[in-house]
C-alpha cells in the first residue's frame, strides 16, 4: 500500500511487533523508539528530537551506544529511523549497532520503502529523511560495515497500512 496520511500512525513498530518474537531473547534495544517502544521490556533509546522523552529509557543518539558494552545485546531493533541519517554515515551507525550485538544476535530494521513512500524532496515527503530506502542501498551499507552478517529474513511489507521493508540481519 502506498503511504498516505491516513495509514501513517506514528507507531510503525506496531505493524511488525509480532514478526520480532522469533528473534527475541535476552537484552533488546529499540533504537529511535519515540513515544512507543515495540515491547515494554525493550530498552528504548531516543534523542527526543521528534516526540520528546516520553517512553524513552535512554537519551542517546543512534550513532553512539557507548553506554552499552560490546556484544551486550541479543537484539537491536529500529523502526523508521535509519533514513534520518545521512546515507554516507549509515555504515558507521550500523557498525555501532553490530558492535553492541552479540555474535548470532540480530539487527532488525523496518524502513520506509522508496517504492511506496514519497521520495526525498517531493510533496508529502518527510523533510527529515536524508535518503530514499531501497533493498539495494541497505545491503550496500551493510557491506561497508566491518562485521560479518547474513540476511536471515527480508520482507516487502505493502499489505493493508504498510509501506515498508523489513530486514532481519544476523551478526555472524
User: Would you place residue 1 in the very low, low, confident or very high pLDDT band (cuts 50, 70, 90)?
Assistant: low
Averaged pLDDT for residues 22-46: 94
Residue whose C-alpha cell is 558494552: 69
User: Would you place residue 54 in the very low, low, confident or very high pLDDT band (cuts 50, 70, 90)?
Assistant: confident
Whole-prediction pTM value? 0.93
pLDDT at 48 over 80: no
pLDDT score of 160 = 78
pLDDT at 24 over 70: yes
pLDDT score of 23 = 96
pLDDT score of 35 = 86
- Closest residue by Cα to residue 169 from 89, 82, 87: 82
For residue 29, count CB atoms less than 10 angstroms from its CB and return exposed for 0-12, middle for 13-18, buried for 19 or more. Answer: buried
- Give the pLDDT confidence of 85-143 residue by residue, as tens digits: 999 999 999 999 999 999 999 999 999 999 998 899 998 888 999 999 999 999 999 99
- Closest residue by Cα to residue 149 from 89, 92, 108, 88: 108
Cell of 133: 530506502
pLDDT score of 123 = 87
Amino acid at each position: 500500500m502506498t503511504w498516505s496520511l491516513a495509514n501513517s500512525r506514528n507507531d510503525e513498530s506496531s505493524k511488525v511487533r509480532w514478526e520480532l518474537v522469533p528473534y527475541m531473547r535476552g537484552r533488546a534495544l529499540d533504537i529511535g523508539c519515540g513515544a512507543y517502544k515495540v515491547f515494554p521490556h525493550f530498552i528504548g533509546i531516543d534523542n527526543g528530537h521528534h516526540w520528546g522523552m516520553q517512553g524513552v529509557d535512554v537519551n542517546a543518539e543512534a550513532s553512539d551506544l557507548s553506554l552499552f558494552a560490546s556484544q551486550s545485546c541479543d537484539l537491536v531493533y529500529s523502526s523508521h529511523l535509519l533514513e534520518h541519517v545521512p546515507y554516507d554515515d549509515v555504515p558507521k551507525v550500523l557498525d555501532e549497532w553490530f558492535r553492541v550485538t552479540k555474535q548470532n544476535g540480530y539487527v532488525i530494521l523496518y524502513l520506509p520503502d522508496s517504492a511506496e513512500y514519497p521520495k526525498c524532496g517531493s510533496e508529502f515527503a518527510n523533510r527529515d529523511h536524508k535518503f530514499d530506502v531501497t533493498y539495494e542501498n541497505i545491503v550496500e551499507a551493510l557491506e561497508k560495515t566491518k562485521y560479518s552478517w547474513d540476511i536471515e529474513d527480508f520482507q516487502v511489507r505493502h499489505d493493508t497500512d504498510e509501506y515498508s521493508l523489513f530486514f532481519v540481519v544476523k551478526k555472524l
